[in-house]
């Protein structure tokens, strides 16, 4: 990364993409804070983002004191900006406090953020991640239940028709809340209720829509190589629902999907290796990177390019995922997991 030169918004996105895999991530975090201090950001509105980034880098290396210093500066920087950004920064602070064993302070930080759950997807994702890191599944279930109730009531008040959303897209943030709640309730062994049933109906509609989109564009198989996957889930925590919570889960999903497609008689199957920078660049022209439509059309663009990975490799060839292992010892067995 450039040193002692101005950092543009594009530089910051590039750093976000590459920092976790860099040789000296803590040096990069310090450099980011230094750039804020020295006024070396091309757009001074990026200061909060740069400090959040520094905090998450330090957190990922369990330098929790440094992470707290950075995130507190981010909170102060955002204090005069909108609720969504300062909410995300406060939720990140709570997450780092949980990791530091300061649980009461973490909960005190999160409590006032509850109303953000029904308003801002980014803040809601940070909030959910903080409660998960803190092992607060019961609290998360309670808050999400209340947020779903509020979101449904607001929906009913604003539409003439049925309050129940007809698709995941139509449901928007409500779908995200329903899904999170559904997953947590399974994790803590609660029986299905009406909201869980709604979550599953919307999830299966989304899956069917995805399956028909895949059938149309023969190759809609977006693959995140390991380093890309890691920075993707840091940047958009909610996308772990689309691509898997870990890289192993991501590879297993793709392998199973490819096996399934091959079973329907499809040939010439390929994986489409995506990148965070590529998706951001694509969305720059077309919209929000985390939006399912943006990702689907990004995948179609990749399918039209020349960098697809053919599937399946021979059993003794290197695996398609880039791990360096033989296919028969890597992703081939994942389809049976």
Report the residue count for the chain.
Answer: 337
Q: How far is the CB of 138 from Zn ion (least distance, A)?
A: 18
CA diameter of the chain: 60
C-beta atoms surrounding 314 within 10 Å: 9
* β-bridge pairing 309-310 and 270-273: antiparallel
Q: How far is the CB of 318 from Zn ion (least distance, A)?
A: 9
Residues 204, 238: Cα–Cα separation, whole Å: 18
Q: How far is the CB of 185 from Zn ion (least distance, A)?
A: 8
| Phi, psi angles (nearest 5°) of residue 135 | 65, 25
- 274 or 289, CB closer to Zn ion? 274
In 3D space, the residue among 176, 169, 170 whose CA is nearest the CA of residue 127 turns out to be 176
User: Any idea of the CA torsion for 227, 230, 231, 233, to the nearest 10 degrees?
Assistant: 150
Q: How far is the CB of 163 from Zn ion (least distance, A)?
A: 21
Q: With H, G, I as helix, E, B as strand and everything else as coil, classify residue 193.
A: coil
Start-to-end C-alpha separation, the chain: 40
- 25 or 128, CB closer to Zn ion? 128
- Beta bridge partners of residue 41, listed in sequence order: 7
- 57 or 252, CB closer to Zn ion? 252
Q: How far is the CB of 192 from Zn ion (least distance, A)?
A: 6
- 179 or 231, CB closer to Zn ion? 179
Instruction: List contacts with Zn ion (CB under 5 A).
Output: 319, 321, 323, 330-331
Q: With H, G, I as helix, E, B as strand and everything else as coil, classify residue 273.
A: strand
- 297 or 323, CB closer to Zn ion? 323
| Phi, psi angles (nearest 5°) of residue 166 | -95, -15
- 89 or 330, CB closer to Zn ion? 330
Q: How far is the CB of 323 from Zn ion (least distance, A)?
A: 5
- 287 or 333, CB closer to Zn ion? 333
Contact 293, 283 (CB under 8 A): no
Cα of 74 vs its chain's centroid, Å: 20
Q: How far is the CB of 334 from Zn ion (least distance, A)?
A: 7
In 3D space, the residue among 40, 39, 43 whose CA is nearest the CA of residue 10 turns out to be 43
What tokens were used for 96? 């780092």
- 48 or 273, CB closer to Zn ion? 273
Q: How far is the CB of 335 from Zn ion (least distance, A)?
A: 11
Residues 51, 320: Cα–Cα separation, whole Å: 36
């Amino acid at each position: 990364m450039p040193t002692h030169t101005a950092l543009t918004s594009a530089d910051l996105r590039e750093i976000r993409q590459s920092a976790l895999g860099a040789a000296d991530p803590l040096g990069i975090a310090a450099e980011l804070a230094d750039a804020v201090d020295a006024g070396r950001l091309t757009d001074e509105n990026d200061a909060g983002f740069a400090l959040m980034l520094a905090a998450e880098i330090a957190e990922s290396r369990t330098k929790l004191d440094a992470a707290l210093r950075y995130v507190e500066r981010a909170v102060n920087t955002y204090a005069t900006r909108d609720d969504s950004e300062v909410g995300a920064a406060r939720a990140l602070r709570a997450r780092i406090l949980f990791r530091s064993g300061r649980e009461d302070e973490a909960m005190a930080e999160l409590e006032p953020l509850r109303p953000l759950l029904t308003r801002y997807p980014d803040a809601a994702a940070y909030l959910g991640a903080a409660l998960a890191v803190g092992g607060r599944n019961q609290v998360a279930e309670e808050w999400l239940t209340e947020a779903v109730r509020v979101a449904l009531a607001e929906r009913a008040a604003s539409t003439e028709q049925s309050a129940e959303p007809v698709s995941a897209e139509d449901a928007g943030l409500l779908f995200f809340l329903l899904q999170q709640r559904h997953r947590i309730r399974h994790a803590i062994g609660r029986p299905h209720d009406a909201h869980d049933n709604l979550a599953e109906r919307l999830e299966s509609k989304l899956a069917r829509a995805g399956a028909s989109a895949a059938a149309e564009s023969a190759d809609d198989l977006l693959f995140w190589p390991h380093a890309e996957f890691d920075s993707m889930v840091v940047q958009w925590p909610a996308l772990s629902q689309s691509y898997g919570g870990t890289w192993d889960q991501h590879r297993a999903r793709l392998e199973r999907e490819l096996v399934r497609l091959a079973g329907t008689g499809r040939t010439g199957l390929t994986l489409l290796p995506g990148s965070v920078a590529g998706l951001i660049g694509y969305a720059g022209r077309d919209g929000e990177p985390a939006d399912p439509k943006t990702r689907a059309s990004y995948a179609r663009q990749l399918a039209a390019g020349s960098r697809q990975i053919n599937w399946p490799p021979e059993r003794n060839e290197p695996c398609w995922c880039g791990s360096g292992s033989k296919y028969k010892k890597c992703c081939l067995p994942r389809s049976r997991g």
